[in-house]
């Protein structure tokens, strides 16, 4: 088998000797493939980010909530965030204890709040209205609040989660109102949280947000923790750049900030981070098959079975994913050319990569969409009544195991109710 422009997976030894074609033949196309060793390496990088003694890492399960991956992440010593009762449920199934789960909620119902309260899971609310609702449900309880520090960052406007143009967080000027609600319901504020956005590669905005959060923390007595949020970025263009987030420098700076704040507030205060996609993004590749090669006018299209029902990031966020090409036979690619790689959804916007320089691609080739471990399968759908892909895991010993079954066509109708 030929592995074209596959320097990224070769360097990482991603497939560990397994043949992508064999994987597709066994589990179907398209197919999400994860590497356990890479996932563990990323978890350990984060766990060792700071030498501050009361430091912990909370994985944001919204990036990837596959049960098996959550079990690995728990085994590496990370805690976990939840955004819904459904995420709480699957996290408990993965073995996380209630005190390891942090429910960072947004505009949730009283019923959803009660779900967490009944399980003694700490909530983080992000509006005075939600704080009032929580106080009515659980007077005298412990709670945390999400602060909008006024600083945002991210690769696209849809992932910037702080600053002026976002729905998230309590503004600093609303702190007096928060204190009134806390007193009214005798709530105990145990922590504050921020999240400025997703996929930052330079730490300045993040550190600025942490500084603002520390200033706000001094408005409250007896906080048990400060959650600095995250959104740590990864390089999605490894084939052409070597730009990476300098974790060592970021960790050193955070440790200094933690120690300085703790020295003047409470030497036992805990600090948390929410690194977002960082643990899982690079451990996943989405495999797909090329079924058509065609020209429209002067543009060459590579038609694959990876529609945006399987990977929506390029359509939703204009996101870039590097693409590798795999070939079963010995036919040679005589050139590198600009092509537009598309999926099988009946939408003109169903584009994986636009005007991308790739080796000449033929029908029957496979493509590997890199760094698909975060916000990939978890955002997939049955649009066009397409089947969501299976997910498999390459274990550290090289064994490949199924960790989520591919949808069946019968499942498409199982929740419908016929009127005939």
> Rounded distance, CA 54 to CA 268, Å?
7
Reduced to 3 states (helix: H, G, I; strand: E, B; else coil), residue 17 is: coil
| Catalytic residue of the set 124, 178, 228, 346 | 346
> Rounded distance, CA 213 to CA 265, Å?
13
> Rounded distance, CA 272 to CA 56, Å?
5
Residue labelled with tokens 């397994």: 18
According to DSSP, the β-strands at 31-35 and 390-394 are parallel
Residue labelled with tokens 């073995």: 95
Contact between residue 246 and residue 202 where contact means Cβ atoms under 8 Å apart:
no
Contact between residue 80 and residue 73 where contact means Cβ atoms under 8 Å apart:
yes
Contact between residue 338 and residue 300 where contact means Cβ atoms under 8 Å apart:
yes
- Terminus-to-terminus CA distance in the chain, angstroms? 52
DSSP string, 56-121: EEEEEGGG---HHHHHHHHHTT-EEEESSHHHHHHHHHTT--GGGEEEE-SS--HHHHHHHHHTTP
> Rounded distance, CA 164 to CA 330, Å?
55
> Rounded distance, CA 361 to CA 333, Å?
7
Joined tokens for residue 56: 């912990």
> Rounded distance, CA 100 to CA 103, Å?
10
Q: Which helix (H) or strand (E) holds 260?
A: helix 247-264
Clarify whether 43 is annotated catalytic: no
> Rounded distance, CA 321 to CA 352, Å?
8
Cα Rg of the chain, angstroms: 23
Catalytic residues: 346
């Amino acid at each position: 088998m030929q592995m074209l422009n596959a320097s990224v997976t070769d360097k990482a030894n991603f497939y560990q000797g397994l043949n992508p074609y064999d994987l597709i033949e066994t589990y179907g196309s398209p197919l999400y493939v994860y590497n356990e060793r890479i996932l563990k390496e990323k978890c350990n990088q984060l766990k060792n980010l700071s030498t501050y003694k009361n430091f912990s890492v909370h994985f944001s399960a919204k990036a990837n909530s596959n049960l098996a991956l959550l079990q690995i992440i728990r085994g590496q010593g990370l805690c976990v965030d939840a955004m819904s009762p459904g995420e709480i449920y699957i996290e408990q199934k993965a073995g996380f204890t209630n005190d390891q789960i942090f429910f960072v909620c947004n505009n949730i119902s009283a019923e959803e709040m009660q779900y967490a309260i009944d399980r003694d899971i700490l909530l983080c609310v992000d509006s005075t209205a939600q704080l009032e609702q929580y106080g009515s449900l659980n007077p005298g309880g412990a709670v945390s609040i999400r602060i909008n520090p006024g600083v945002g960052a991210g690769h696209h406007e849809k992932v910037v989660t702080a600053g002026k143009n976002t729905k998230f967080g309590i503004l600093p000027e609303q702190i007096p109102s928060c204190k009134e609600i806390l007193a009214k319901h005798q709530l105990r504020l145990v922590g504050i949280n921020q999240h400025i956005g997703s996929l930052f590669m330079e730490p300045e905005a993040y550190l600025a947000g942490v500084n603002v959060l520390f200033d706000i923390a001094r408005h409250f007595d007896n906080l048990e923790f400060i959650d600095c949020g995250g959104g740590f970025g990864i390089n999605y263009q490894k084939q052409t750049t070597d730009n990476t987030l300098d974790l060592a420098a970021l960790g050193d700076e955070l440790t200094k900030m933690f120690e300085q704040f703790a020295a003047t507030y409470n030497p036992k205060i805990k600090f948390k981070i929410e690194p977002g996609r960082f643990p899982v993004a690079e451990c996943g590749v989405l495999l797909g098959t090329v079924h058509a090669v065609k020209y429209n006018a002067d543009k060459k299209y590579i038609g694959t079975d990876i529609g945006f029902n399987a990977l929506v990031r390029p359509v939703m966020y204009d996101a870039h994913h590097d693409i590798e090409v795999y070939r079963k036979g010995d036919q040679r690619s005589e050139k590198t050319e600009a092509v537009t790689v598309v999926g099988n959804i009946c939408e003109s916007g169903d584009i994986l990569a636009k005007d991308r320089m790739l080796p000449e691609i033929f029908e029957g080739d496979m493509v590997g969409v890199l760094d698909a471990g975060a916000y990939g399968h978890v955002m997939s759908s049955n649009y066009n009544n397409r089947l969501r892909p299976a997910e498999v895991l390459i274990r550290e010993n090289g064994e490949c195991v199924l960790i989520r079954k591919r949808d069946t066509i019968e499942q498409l109708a199982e929740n419908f109710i016929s009127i005939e």
